[in-house]
């Protein structure tokens, strides 16, 4: 297998709560009992977990990215990177894959992976119309709590800005719009495979409007990860009140402009 998705690996590997009973692996097992993960997570010592949980966060990015770090912090960061490299190499070996697909969204995790000398980081920056994101986060889903409009807007502005900053650190950077992905999934996957200099082989699980999902071992992620078999792929509709639509559109205007979303609710596609 060339590609292997691990869900939000970097986010969950260093956060015991995300590997706890509350968020089982997508295979249905507890992460500590999952046949894929149980031996891998035993390799994570408490110091590595603590550094990952406390320091690989947005408030520490200036220090992580900056040229000068206190010596103790620099040593801890280097040890953390070595341990993380070992973990990802173990994942690749156990999965028998060449490309690990890690869908952690937090830019500090991607930056951290870019600093590992033995790995090449390719960033696929997936964006969605901010009004659709707001609508999606307004409803709780199993272990995912609803988020306030203010929280989502702050996340959208900071995560998208920092994701673009990753161009400077990653081996490659590719921008994909969610609306284009769901409009033509096979074409988008081929584009992503070419981006990492690989051919998109074995796409027989994927059609234009549906995909066949087998057993996977995804960490954290959306609760939809537990769905198996044929799933339909379609754009999720969203509907905001007129007032909220105007307010959110004004506050996220830089993103609407940057990613070519119309101010009014009309979609258009690239293809």
Piece in contact with Zn ion (CB under 5 A), picked from 18-26, 64-72, 79-87, 225-233:
18-26
Closest to Zn ion by CB, 36 vs 259, is 36
Identify the residue among 25, 123, 124, 219 touching Zn ion (CB under 5 A): 25
Identify the residue among 183, 217, 225, 245 touching Zn ion (CB under 5 A): 217
CA 52, CA 88: separation in Å to the nearest integer? 14
**Residue 6 Cβ, how far from Zn ion at the closest point, in Å?**
10
Which 141-180 positions form the footprint of Zn ion (CB under 5 A)?
none
Closest to Zn ion by CB, 5 vs 160, is 5
Closest to Zn ion by CB, 37 vs 111, is 37
Count of residues binding Zn ion (CB under 5 A)?
Answer: 5
Question: Binding of Zn ion at residue 27 (CB under 5 A)?
Answer: yes
Question: Binding of Zn ion at residue 218 (CB under 5 A)?
Answer: no
Identify the residue among 34, 124, 219, 248 touching Zn ion (CB under 5 A): 34
Question: Binding of Zn ion at residue 91 (CB under 5 A)?
Answer: no
Closest to Zn ion by CB, 27 vs 192, is 27
Closest to Zn ion by CB, 27 vs 110, is 27
Closest to Zn ion by CB, 32 vs 138, is 32
Chain residues in the site for Zn ion (CB under 5 A): 25, 27, 34, 36, 217
């Amino acid at each position: 297998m060339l590609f292997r998705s691990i869900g939000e690996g970097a986010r969950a590997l260093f956060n015991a709560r995300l590997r706890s009973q509350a968020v089982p692996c997508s295979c249905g097992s507890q992460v500590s009992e999952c046949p894929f993960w149980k031996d891998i997570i035993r390799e994570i010592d408490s110091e590595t977990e603590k550094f990952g949980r406390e320091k690989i966060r947005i408030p520490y990015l200036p220090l992580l990215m900056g040229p000068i770090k206190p010596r103790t912090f620099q040593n801890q960061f280097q040890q953390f990177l070595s341990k993380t490299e070992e973990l990802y190499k173990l994942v690749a070996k156990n999965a028998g894959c060449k490309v690990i697909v890690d869908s952690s969204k937090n830019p500090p995790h991607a930056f951290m992976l870019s600093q590992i000398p033995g790995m090449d980081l390719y960033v696929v920056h997936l964006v969605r119309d901010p009004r659709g994101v707001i609508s999606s986060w307004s409803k709780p889903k199993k272990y995912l709590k609803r988020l306030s409009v203010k929280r989502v807007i702050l996340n959208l502005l900071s995560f998208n800005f920092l994701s673009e900053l990753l161009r400077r650190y990653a081996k490659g950077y590719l921008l994909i719009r969610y609306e284009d992905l769901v409009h033509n999934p096979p074409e988008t996957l081929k584009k992503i495979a070419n981006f990492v200099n690989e051919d998109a082989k074995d796409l027989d699980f994927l059609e234009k409007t549906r995909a066949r999902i087998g057993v996977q071992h995804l960490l954290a992620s959306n609760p939809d990860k537990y769905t198996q078999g044929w799933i339909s792929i379609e754009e999720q509709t969203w509907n905001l009140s007129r007032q909220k639509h105007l307010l959110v559109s004004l506050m996220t205007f830089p993103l609407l402009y940057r990613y070519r979303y119309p101010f009014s609710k009309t979609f258009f596609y690239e293809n």
